[in-house]
Amino acid sequence: MPRVKRIRDDVRELLQEQFGIECDYVFYEGGKGKIYATREIPEFLRKVVHSGIYVGRIERDGFRLSMDGAALLGKHAKKCVVDIGDQDVEKWMRGEDISISQSVDCRYVILRWRGFYVGCGKVVNGAVKNYVPKNRRIV
C-alpha cells in the first residue's frame, strides 16, 4: 500500500478514535512528520511542497492537533473537548500549561473558549501541556 494512502487512513482512524471527528479532508504527510489537510490535491499541485493547512502530527501516544488543526477540525469533534474560561485562555496563549477541573479520559484534548477552538494539548496529571508555538504566543 502506498505511504500516502496509509497516512490518510491512519490520520482518519486516529481522529475518529481520539476526538470522534469524521470529515472529508484529504490528509498527507509533509516534511518533519507534519500532517496537512486539504479538500483535494489537484494534479498540477502534487509537486508543490505544501498544499493545505498544517493540522498536526502523529505522536507515539496519539494524534496532536496544531492550533490551526484545532480551529479547522474542532467543530467536528464529539469527544475530548474541554471548555476553558478567560483566565485559562490567557495563560494558554502565553504558553503556560493549564489545570482542568473536569475529569477527562483522553490523552489529548481540544480546548474551546467561548466557542473558539484555541488549541490542543496533552493531558498530564490533571493539567493540559501547552504546545502553542513561541511565535504565536502573547506577551
State the total domains in the chain.
Answer: 1
Residues 48-58 pLDDT 10s: 656 789 999 99
Domain carrying residue 129: 3-136
pLDDT at 4: 55
Q: How many C-beta neighbours within 10 Å does residue 36 have?
A: 21
Residues 33-91 pLDDT 10s: 899 998 876 666 666 656 789 999 999 999 999 999 999 999 999 999 999 999 999 99
Q: Looking at residue 45, which CATH number applies to its domain?
A: 3.10.450.720
The residue type at 78: K
Give the pLDDT band (50/70/90) at residue 1: very low
Residues 113-124 pLDDT 10s: 999 999 999 999
